Structure 1
């Protein structure tokens, strides 16, 4: 699948190994694109139709996969020096679209649960969580129609 990319964002297809007893879904390898080190990994559940965001990390690189359900991610680039300043990337991860979304520091991200039931994301960050490292703003602060 091709996506109109934003500078500092990678969409990397991940291997899915089909197994009659339950599939195996790859998430990240140290040798893969987007790997910048390991700080922590965590899961987040997103309820159907609800939106989390906008959030911008100043130092952390995020690597997000959706092993259960489907989650719509919107990335916004407001960096003045960026070649893609003012652009959005809108991509849904999960199900048949088993990819990893790598988001560099300085980009705004929000996401929405799309499936009924559980929508689960795994974030593999290069830094441990630090509540002073990120900026949060209201959804209406960035002009995007959900």
Structure 2
């Protein structure tokens, strides 16, 4: 496990177990050391070249794993009390580079499917989405306050 240079971010390599029937990839168990609990689990599809950025949460811990395809996940830490304030981290993950990335509250993040195929991402959120009061702040992908160009 590593932190990608941003405190609270945990990147866990996932193991693929192959047999004559196919593959199994265990993503998370409740007895894992870094298990934050589940509020909601869902899958999204990201079309090639489409950027889904930027967003962050006040309370929610996001966890992402690419199930198919290849994804560039980018994190930006502008938390005032963080030792990594101003740092950008890029993580490439996909079906052949399986990882679970835990993103703490307050860290901006976004992603883009790489290559010619779409990607499916598994989202394991610590809080359920509240349509009446979303715990989410958004910025445009080209927001100049975030030092990253997609």
**What's the Cα RMSD here?**
1.6
Partner of 2:82: 82
Alignment length (residue pairs): 146
Pick one of 107, 119, 140 that aligns with 1:138: 140
2:19 aligned counterpart, secondary structure: coil
Task: Answer yes or no: is the 8 Å Cα contact 1:73–1:109 preserved in 2.
Answer: yes
Please report how far the alpha carbon of residue 137 of structure 1 lies from its aligned counterpart in structure 2 after TM superposition: 0.6
User: TM-score w.r.t. structure 2 length?
Assistant: 0.90
**CA 1:115/1:32 → structure 2, altered by over 3 Å: closer, same or farther?**
farther
Which deviates more from structure 2 when the two are superposed, residues 119-128 or residues 20-29? Answer: 20-29
Q: Verify the 8 A CA contact 1:12 1:33 in the aligned structure 2.
A: no
Change (3 A) 1:122 1:30: same
Return the alpha-carbon distance in structure 2 between the equivalents of residues 34 and 70 of structure 1: 24
Deviates more, 1:100-109 or 1:14-23: 14-23
Q: For structure 2, which runs of at least 5 residues remain unmatched after alignment?
A: none
- Which aligned pairs between 1:1-146 and structure 2 lie closer than 5 A? 4-131=4-131, 132-141=134-143, 142-146=146-150
| Offset at residue 68 of structure 1 (A) | 0.6
